[in-house]
Structure 1
Amino acid sequence: MDVIKNFIESANNLLGLSIPVILFIYSLNFFFFYFLGLNKLYLKLNVVFILISVFIIFMFGNIRSDVVVINTFISTNDGSMGGSIGQSMQISSRSIFYTTIFLFILSIPVCVFPFKTIKLLYNLLSMSSLVILISVKSFIRFCISIISKTKFVSNETLPKTILLNSQSEPEDYIDKSNEQSTVKLSENLIAMEDNEISSENKQESNPLWINNETKIDDYTKIKNRQNSTSYFDSDSKNEPVKQLSKNTKSYNLPSIDLLDDLKEISISESEINATAQKIQDTLHQYDVDVEIGQVQPGPVVTLYGLKPGWITKTKKEKQFDSDGNVMTDENGRQIMKEVESKNRVRVDSIISREKDLSLALKTPSIRIETPVLGESLVGIEVPNPNPGIIGIKSLIKDSSFENLLLQKDSLPIALGKGSGGDNITIDLTKMPHLLIAGATGSGKSVCMNAVVSSLIYSRSPDQLRLLLVDPKRVELTQYNGIPHMVTPVIVELDAVAKVFRGIINEMFKRYKLLESHSVRNISELNKKFTNAMPYLVIVIDELADLMMTSGVEIERSICRLAQLGRATGIHLVIATQRPSVDVVTGLIKSNFPSRVSFSVSSSIDSRTILDTTGAEKLLGKGDMLYLPIDASLPFRLQGCFINDSEISKLVNFWRNNSFMNSQYEINVFDDLNQINESTNSDDEDPNKDSLYNDAVGLAKSTKKLSISFLQRKLRIGYPRAARLMDELEEEGIVGPMQNSIKSRDVIIN
């Protein structure tokens, strides 16, 4: 301890009294490196410069002079350095001594690594500040928690409750002056028992419930809020919610006997063994050793699980004795020994023999994937010699479909059967939208009919409503006349854009009803009130035709419905036979996570619809790849088949059992009629251009409208034609201007 104390005292006498000189050397040292850079030569020169400077300090420490400047800054009477200024600094503050030492030590890393040292100092300072801030914040919270242990409840802040109508009080408590904009519930829409609180148990369950017996109209409160930011509180969306009708009559679902039984053809065991042996022999000819792990026969393809074998290699090695010398025989030759080594067969070597396997199995295409069946197997899907047909009745009778049928908030769809023979049934509400693609003759239209038939088989019109768009006029028109239809099947492409506008308005009306009853989605509303709002499924058979007529308007409407429609029970099922990037755009694909791809013409189309290849190798006739929302890779299915006679039986059943039993009416043409009325009354508007009606007539006669077209036909200048185009856009007759295209889409024709 004495040695350390003496060292500190000596250093204190040396450095503490020489602060001006040390800081001067420190500054010169730093700027020396800053201007000249860092290398070995300059580092040596810098060290020599520091040693010379320290020597000069010691030499000046022994100087005795009567000069005032030397006595002030360099020498003192006691033989130390620093002069009278340094001596006074040491006497007044000892911390300056340690600061000088710290700066002197810090000068070395700053000169050698300036940027890294500054960054390290900045990080240390930031961490220290953060620790101090967290400590202060925790201390303040601790003090607040101690102060606020006792809370006082004011009578003015008592909770307000909203009581629903009970059966004992059938009269509405809604304000009669606002009768058109309020929601009237019928007597058969009874609130659940969980939401009813008896007045006798109020005081027992919550002592703060005092003098709170008034009934409050929650919808009126929401509507009359002054500072509300809700979309539905604006004046532009102040439409009244439709009154729910009262009807105690119930629907009966169709019988399973309306559907036909189809005999399923399966592959025999002898054919499976022969194909498995042929796969092994073909791969063995190319020195690829495999074993048949599992076999899963399916209706159209059979999955063979291959287990990679071993590759045996032999090599000769020298033999050594105990001393490490090479062993030789009698003739002086080295003794060699054969050693075997085993390596696993690479998966790439199996995949590379895909065309050879196709040739040996006499099939146009096979599909190889790994891993399969939940094990370390390489799966090879081989088409069956006699493919079978999967009837929709076998899927509906399955337990998976029946379980979804019992759930009132589900939309079950019989999709098909997997390559392993398992039945696949999906719930449209969980998907929540479905995109289907496939070339002509691949089974796309049959799949659309199976989807619609599954929906009308499992749900009554008061639970499900349909809106079908069929530009072909022959695929979905047979469903006309069933009570599920919101409107007859739309076959005119010019009417699709304005119908979508009506559906978007219907979606916001549903949001308004959900907000008025303080529920988050349609499932909670239907649990609270029986069949208060039906699901709405929109089925479009050919998206490419719609995108060619009015692509921007259709894309925007589809994306808006896909983003916001799930909570209100609006779901989309869209099919196209041309899955190119101009039809299935990035916005549409991002809003349709569940996709189905039938056979397509190229791997590019497969990547467009599924983000992976494989659909170009499908066999057609219902062979599909299904990519659900919760999976990263698609799996293979054989779609179910439904013939025209089965569809006719289902349609005739609902036509014969058609009656009004809907608690919620859907009319997508309400706003469109208002637009037509406003268009017809434009003659009386003095602000309208005198040629406005002529411009509307030109818009109705064509699908595209441009400013130059108005100039030529109406014989007017560019400014007036541009104003007429703006008026047509404001009235919703033409669409907005696209990027570099001068013509605009005509929405109302």
Structure 2
Amino acid sequence: MPKAQPHSRLIQEIAGIFLIGLGSLLFLALVSFDPRDVDFFTSTPNEVVSNFIGPAGAYVASGLVLFIGIASFLVPLVMILGGVGLMLYPGNIDYRFKAIWLVLFMACGAGLLQMFPNFFSFDGVEWPGGLVGYALNDKLLTAFMGRAGAVIVLGVGYFVSLILLFELRPVELMRRGLAWYQHYQEAREQERYEMADPLERVELERKKLEAQERKLRKELAKQGKALEPMPEPSKARTTPKVIDTTAPAPAPLPPAEAPKVEPPTASLAPAQAEPEPLKDKPRRGKVVEEKSLKKENDPPTRPSYENYHLPESSLLLANDGAGHSPATKADLEANSRLLVDSIRQFGIEVTAGDITRGATITRYEVYPAPGVRVERIAGLEKNIARAMKAEKVNILAPIPGKDSVGIEVANSSKAKIVLRDLFESEPWTHTKARLPIALGKDVYGSVLVADLADMPHLLIAGTTGSGKSVCINCVLLSLLYRFSPDDLKIILVDPKVVELQVYNQLPHLVVPVVTDPKKVLIALRWVINEMEKRYQLMARAGVRNIAAYNGRPVKEKQPEKLDLEQSLEKGAEAEQPAELPGMSTPKEEEMPNRLPFIVVIIDELADLMATAAADVELAIARLAAKARAAGIHLIIATQTPRAQVITGVIKTNVPCRIAFQVPSALDSRVILDENGAENLLGKGDLLYLPPGSSKLIRAQGAFVSDDEVAKVVDFIKAQTTPSYEAEIHQKLSKGGGGEAEELSEDDQELVLKCWEVMRQEKRASTSMFQRRLRIGYNTAAWITDWFEQKGIVGAKDGAKDREILVDIETYDIEQHF
């Protein structure tokens, strides 16, 4: 017995192969059948048989065609399928019944083909269904039952014999086909879900859940059950509060009781013991009496700021509240109910939360029911805006640090926030920030006072009219209200010429406002050199940052050492000149007692990037990476927040950012690395990214008019005249060749390298310097122009190399340094 089963399996496989081969021969014979190959169909047969299988194939094919006509093709098809079945599906088969069903299958097929003679037929063959089809259809069924009855009888017999022959299950086949179609549809839905954006995914999830809910309801209805309603939201929440941050603030304290403002240098002193003079300091507007700020080593031409007065808040306009109509509590609660009803219309169960009315927007909080995805609420932004009749709606899903969803709706009338309110607020007067700047108020009415020293650099971006320039004015006035020219130096870069010209006479300026984009690099290089000098000073003093440097104890015997060394110099005139160049100890006498902060403000970065993108980006990156400890801070502003302007290098080194209204979500992602700024309302509405945090703060920026700025500047410049840094002022005052006449050490080294390349190659061109030294085009072109100005090479002549006008073997290039 164990051997019988494998033996029968082998015989079955051999029989399957035999049937497949026989069916293939028969199929080729039928395909190449020509009635002229057999003299039965024609009186002039072909001399050479054209059938693929030869005379045998021609006679077998003619016999099949004569008996069953075109149905002959079913014979090889059944044989091939039967052979495959024998090989793949072993088992006992009752061939007696299979033969009966096969005969019935062939006969019904021949009868059906006989009813449609025009469908297909062989040339010279009279009956498409052969003798069997002719007898069964024409003589029997059609004669007794008519054409319609014959079609029904033959069709039913054909399909029944087909099912019995191949053991098919029609219902099972339909189920499998339906299951395959459903699987295909699910695969397409999954592909759509993976390619969709987040909002489309939320919508697809919603539709999927609704379909599942309908299906579940139908199944429960068949079982006589009903779907339980969703549980009501928890009633344990506290009663929603209505907070109006635009309500009038309490009257400020009288001047006698107003808290005293610590001077800007107080935070630089050691925290253990405050110097006595600081305790007797008057508030803003009084005389700044800090004798320690006077630099003993300053040249006598520098003006003294001992009697300098900080500006008073009375120079700024007070908030009169004109044009603002406050909303009542009933109105806010009615809007909250309308908002909740609008969300419930989409099948999302929420409950109302707190209401906070800010200067520009009102934030309505809602609590989703258990099991509700916040993404579903986030996808209703446009529908909520339509229901609330709002200009724009911004949805925070969820509010950072809370379990609620915030829906921010624009107010019909905006409340003005003036800079004077911020300067008279407690957060400003009691701030411990080293470089405080007043930005505005957030949604909850809190005053935003940032510390530029902690940022340490700031990026401001927004379209025209969004409030960017006003924000820069607020930052500048914040610094001017806190620092005297001894404690703060400012460099202003204004390629648009008209934005910052009002500050041109400030004594805080290192140089006049820089308006030529080609000269900005000179200012940035001076700042870089100043940074390196400060690092050298801090290294000699043994401190790590400017706060420790300014807070270090001052040596009292320093003047005596200076007199002693001066007397030694007079007694050793012969030896001293040879030793001075290599000695570093006398430089320690020139160490200033204090170093002021330096703030560089660039009003439009796009113009600079269009002029010299590589050099500007490199300078900004170098300053942003190292200047914090040296007390140097950058504020960069632009109204074109594109990736070509705000590059990845700049974004990496400037982590603190303020975004005003932008036209698209792409611009918002360039500034903040996320969406949101495209939903702002303009006119000071901003998003603030604090240093060391990923949480965006929405706020309304403070407003200060041009007249107020002019009053403050006039008050300051009336006290003293500007004292510019001679080195950089001289370079900027020169013409186009001013930069080339006096080179820094790095520039001298680069010029010497280019000179060595010229000596080796015996030619000069900008592209050659680029390739050999691997420098940028702007730098290589600048060096080529420098050689031309010094008469070393000739003028440009198309694409040719520059003509060398000197003997490069004997010429001394260092005479120009």
TM-score by length of structure 2 reads: 0.50
CA separation of 1:565 and 1:193: change in aligned 2, threshold 3 A? closer
In 2: Cα distance, 1:267 partner to 1:285 partner:
26
**Aligned twin of 2:391:** 364
In 2: Cα distance, 1:452 partner to 1:716 partner:
48
**Aligned twin of 2:773:** none
Shift of 1:711: 8.3
**Aligned twin of 2:492:** 468
CA separation of 1:711 and 1:454: change in aligned 2, threshold 3 A? same
Shift of 1:575: 0.5
In 2: Cα distance, 1:715 partner to 1:589 partner:
39
**Aligned twin of 1:427:** 451
**Aligned twin of 2:342:** 282
Q: In structure 1, which of residues 636, 642, 646 is the aligned counterpart of residue 698 of structure 2?
A: 636
In 1: Cα distance, 2:359 partner to 2:609 partner:
36
Shift of 1:366: 0.7
Shift of 1:344: 3.3
The count of residues paired between Structure 1 and Structure 2 equals 451
**Aligned twin of 1:397:** 424
1:174-232 deviation per Cα after TM superposition (whole angstroms, max 9, x unaligned):
xxxxxxxxxxxxxxxxx99999xxxxxxxxxxxxxxxxxxxxxxxxxxxxxxxxxxxxx
1:249 pairs with 2:306? yes
1:477 pairs with 2:539? no
In 1: Cα distance, 2:344 partner to 2:335 partner:
14
- For 1:465, what is the secondary structure of its paired residue? strand
1:411-442 deviation per Cα after TM superposition (whole angstroms, max 9, x unaligned):
11110110111111101000000001101111
Q: In structure 2, which of residues 668, 689, 692 is the aligned counterpart of residue 627 of structure 1?
A: 689
**Aligned twin of 2:475:** 451
Q: In structure 2, which of residues 510, 517, 520 is the aligned counterpart of residue 486 of structure 1?
A: 510
Q: Percent sequence identity over matched residues?
A: 39
In 2: Cα distance, 1:723 partner to 1:641 partner:
61
**Aligned twin of 1:263:** 320
TM-score by length of structure 1 reads: 0.54
Q: In structure 2, which of residues 583, 594, 604 is the aligned counterpart of residue 532 of structure 1?
A: 594
Residues 434 and 451 in structure 2, CA contact (< 8 A), matched pair in contact too: yes
Write the letter of the residue equivalent to 1:676: E
Write the letter of the residue equivalent to 2:364: Y
Shift of 1:270: 2.7
- For 2:491, what is the secondary structure of its paired residue? strand
Instruction: Extract unaligned runs of 5+ from structure 2.
Output: 1-268, 274-294, 555-592, 733-737, 768-777
Shift of 1:669: 4.9
Residues 711 and 717 in structure 1, CA contact (< 8 A), matched pair in contact too: no
Instruction: Extract unaligned runs of 5+ from structure 1.
Output: 1-190, 196-240, 310-342, 734-749
Shift of 1:345: 2.7
In 1: Cα distance, 2:807 partner to 2:730 partner:
26
CA separation of 1:705 and 1:365: change in aligned 2, threshold 3 A? farther
**Aligned twin of 2:438:** 414
In 1: Cα distance, 2:703 partner to 2:804 partner:
55
In 2: Cα distance, 1:722 partner to 1:357 partner:
75
Q: In structure 2, which of residues 690, 700, 720 is the aligned counterpart of residue 658 of structure 1?
A: 720
Q: In structure 2, which of residues 675, 693, 714 is the aligned counterpart of residue 613 of structure 1?
A: 675
When Rg is computed on C-alpha atoms for both structures, the one with the higher figure is 2
**Aligned twin of 1:554:** 616
Residues 471 and 491 in structure 1, CA contact (< 8 A), matched pair in contact too: yes
In 2: Cα distance, 1:441 partner to 1:498 partner:
31
In 2: Cα distance, 1:504 partner to 1:435 partner:
19
1:365-419 deviation per Cα after TM superposition (whole angstroms, max 9, x unaligned):
2111133274310001111111111101111112221123xx5x71111101101
Write the letter of the residue equivalent to 1:403: H
In 2: Cα distance, 1:648 partner to 1:676 partner:
37
In 1: Cα distance, 2:463 partner to 2:708 partner:
25
In 2: Cα distance, 1:724 partner to 1:344 partner:
85
Shift of 1:704: 11
Residues 486 and 667 in structure 1, CA contact (< 8 A), matched pair in contact too: no
Shift of 1:678: 6.7
1:646 pairs with 2:708? yes
1:436 pairs with 2:501? no
1:279-304 deviation per Cα after TM superposition (whole angstroms, max 9, x unaligned):
01211222222111111111110111
Residues 450 and 642 in structure 1, CA contact (< 8 A), matched pair in contact too: yes
Residues 458 and 657 in structure 2, CA contact (< 8 A), matched pair in contact too: yes
Residues 293 and 307 in structure 1, CA contact (< 8 A), matched pair in contact too: yes
1:654-687 deviation per Cα after TM superposition (whole angstroms, max 9, x unaligned):
1111168x9x9685357887951579x99xxx99
**Aligned twin of 2:355:** 295
Write the letter of the residue equivalent to 2:342: T
1:300-315 matches, cutoff 5 A: 300-309=360-369
In 2: Cα distance, 1:278 partner to 1:361 partner:
7
- For 1:562, what is the secondary structure of its paired residue? helix
**Aligned twin of 1:676:** 741
Q: In structure 2, which of residues 655, 662, 667 is the aligned counterpart of residue 593 of structure 1?
A: 655
**Aligned twin of 1:131:** none
Write the letter of the residue equivalent to 2:659: S
Residues 319 and 417 in structure 2, CA contact (< 8 A), matched pair in contact too: yes
1:387 pairs with 2:441? no
Residues 468 and 538 in structure 1, CA contact (< 8 A), matched pair in contact too: yes
In 1: Cα distance, 2:800 partner to 2:365 partner:
74
1:575 pairs with 2:637? yes
In 2: Cα distance, 1:250 partner to 1:583 partner:
43
Residues 260 and 393 in structure 1, CA contact (< 8 A), matched pair in contact too: yes
- For 2:599, what is the secondary structure of its paired residue? strand
In 1: Cα distance, 2:678 partner to 2:730 partner:
45
Write the letter of the residue equivalent to 1:455: L
Residues 606 and 640 in structure 2, CA contact (< 8 A), matched pair in contact too: yes
Write the letter of the residue equivalent to 1:426: A
Residues 244 and 665 in structure 1, CA contact (< 8 A), matched pair in contact too: no
CA separation of 1:273 and 1:503: change in aligned 2, threshold 3 A? same
Residues 468 and 489 in structure 1, CA contact (< 8 A), matched pair in contact too: yes
Shift of 1:592: 0.3
Q: In structure 2, which of residues 542, 547, 551 is the aligned counterpart of residue 523 of structure 1?
A: 547
- For 1:626, what is the secondary structure of its paired residue? strand
Residues 258 and 650 in structure 1, CA contact (< 8 A), matched pair in contact too: yes
Write the letter of the residue equivalent to 2:547: S
In 2: Cα distance, 1:194 partner to 1:304 partner:
46
1:120-172 deviation per Cα after TM superposition (whole angstroms, max 9, x unaligned):
xxxxxxxxxxxxxxxxxxxxxxxxxxxxxxxxxxxxxxxxxxxxxxxxxxxxx
Shift of 1:635: 1.7
1:546-598 deviation per Cα after TM superposition (whole angstroms, max 9, x unaligned):
00001011000000111111111110000011111111111000000000111
In 1: Cα distance, 2:494 partner to 2:552 partner:
36
CA separation of 1:674 and 1:642: change in aligned 2, threshold 3 A? closer
- For 1:519, what is the secondary structure of its paired residue? coil
Q: In structure 1, which of residues 564, 575, 590 is the aligned counterpart of residue 626 of structure 2?
A: 564
Residues 267 and 384 in structure 1, CA contact (< 8 A), matched pair in contact too: no
In 2: Cα distance, 1:599 partner to 1:194 partner:
45
Residues 436 and 576 in structure 1, CA contact (< 8 A), matched pair in contact too: yes
Shift of 1:722: 13
Residues 522 and 731 in structure 2, CA contact (< 8 A), matched pair in contact too: no
CA separation of 1:284 and 1:677: change in aligned 2, threshold 3 A? closer
Residues 599 and 615 in structure 1, CA contact (< 8 A), matched pair in contact too: yes
In 2: Cα distance, 1:497 partner to 1:676 partner:
15
Residues 242 and 665 in structure 1, CA contact (< 8 A), matched pair in contact too: no
Write the letter of the residue equivalent to 2:523: V
In 1: Cα distance, 2:638 partner to 2:447 partner:
25
1:90-132 deviation per Cα after TM superposition (whole angstroms, max 9, x unaligned):
xxxxxxxxxxxxxxxxxxxxxxxxxxxxxxxxxxxxxxxxxxx
